[in-house]
Amino acid sequence: MTPENVIEKWANYFNAGDLEGITSLYHKDSTLLPTFLPKLLESKEQISGYFIAAIEGKASIEVNVSQSIKKVVSENTYLMTGTYVFCLPSKGGEKFESWYSFLIDLSHDSPIRHHHSSRVPFDFDLSH
């Protein structure tokens, strides 16, 4: 398995509404900074609760891992960063471009050690 495969599995589970599949990817000690909740999640129960709400809201995601930035942290650990787009039917089908970073440790069956997701702040673009 590669870190790219982990993100692809994550997206497939998310889009299929597969709570067991998506939570199985998170290590028992993982943390999640979610896109649509202003809290740091630090347990599998909290992470599961977040994804239950996303699944019930019929959220979906578009991600192209080939555009990710991959950094090797150690022999089996990678930092993956990139963008994905959330579609939220509960918000009229509105789409939200968001950043992600995953810390993935391939030496574990549940390889996601940390996941940070946040909306891209277009209204604060300092390049203009």
Nearest Cα to 28, choosing from 11, 12, 46, 2? 46
pLDDT digits (tens, 9 = 90+) for 37-64: 889 999 999 999 999 999 998 999 999 9
- Look at residue 127 and tell me if it is in a domain: no
Task: Name the band, by pLDDT with cuts 50, 70 and 90, for residue 125.
Answer: low
Kindly tell me if the per-residue pLDDT of 126 is higher than 90. Answer: no
Nearest Cα to 16, choosing from 6, 27, 8, 5? 8
26, 44 Cβ separation under 8 angstroms: yes
CA of residue 14 relative to chain centroid, distance? 9
Which CATH number belongs to the domain containing residue 49 in this structure? 3.10.450.50
- Look at residue 67 and tell me if it is in a domain: yes
**Which pair of structure tokens corresponds to residue 6?**
């982990």
- Look at residue 77 and tell me if it is in a domain: yes
Range of the domain at 27: 3-118
Task: Name the band, by pLDDT with cuts 50, 70 and 90, for residue 123.
Answer: low
Task: Name the band, by pLDDT with cuts 50, 70 and 90, for residue 124.
Answer: low
Q: How far apart are CA 40 and CA 57, in angstroms?
A: 20
- Look at residue 16 and tell me if it is in a domain: yes
Number of structural domains (the chain) is 1
Return mean pLDDT, the chain: 92
Task: Name the pairing type of β-strands 112-119 and 26-33.
Answer: parallel
pLDDT recorded at residue 60: 93
Q: Is 58 left (phi over 0), alpha (psi -120 to 50) or beta?
A: left
Q: Average pLDDT in the 63-69 region?
A: 94
